[in-house]
Amino acid sequence: MLFFGEYGVNITAGGRVVIPKKIREALGKTKSFTLTKGFDPCLSGFRNEDWEKSAYELMGVSVLEMKKMEIKRHLFSSAALLEMDDQGRVVIPKNLLMYANLINKTEAVFIGVGTYFEIWAKDNWETYKKEIEKNIKKYQSQS
């Protein structure tokens, strides 16, 4: 099942958040998932089996390929295995909260991105969405 949609959630000062039902459904029967830094100021969440598959692909990268080494360091250094409680809640680690600008925020947004999902600070997501919409209009006028 693919991750899709946009879901606003509340986040506590300690980083506790309820995973939206549609995201939980896309995760399947498992109560855990892998969360890491995204490539924008957001977090990326993966089914554990998808994370492992991608991780092994990255492990084959030569240490001489600096760009790919930097990607490995970015993703692996911050990856955390999170376990949901019976209400679908998790606590996001502080280093990830800081990276995604979620410290001292009360609202976050989950978005589905096909094979994974992202967690954004609501204000960052709203700003980024406007940028995406401008770019899409630009692409359409170029066609």
pLDDT single digits (tens) 87-138: 999 999 999 999 999 999 999 999 999 999 999 999 999 999 999 888 888 7
- Enter the pTM of the model: 0.89
CATH of the domain at 60: 3.40.1550.20
**Is residue 1 a part of any domain in this protein?**
no
Name the nearest CA neighbour of 20 among 109, 95, 128, 136.
109
- 2-44 confidence digits (pLDDT tens): 999 999 999 999 999 999 999 999 999 999 999 999 989 999 9
Rounded Cα gap, residues 90 and 81, in angstroms: 10
Domain total of the chain: 1
User: Is 105 in contact with 45 (CB distance < 8 Å)?
Assistant: no
- 51-100 confidence digits (pLDDT tens): 888 776 666 656 567 777 787 787 788 999 999 999 999 999 999 999 99
pLDDT on residue 81: 97
Task: State the residue range of the domain holding 79.
Answer: 6-142
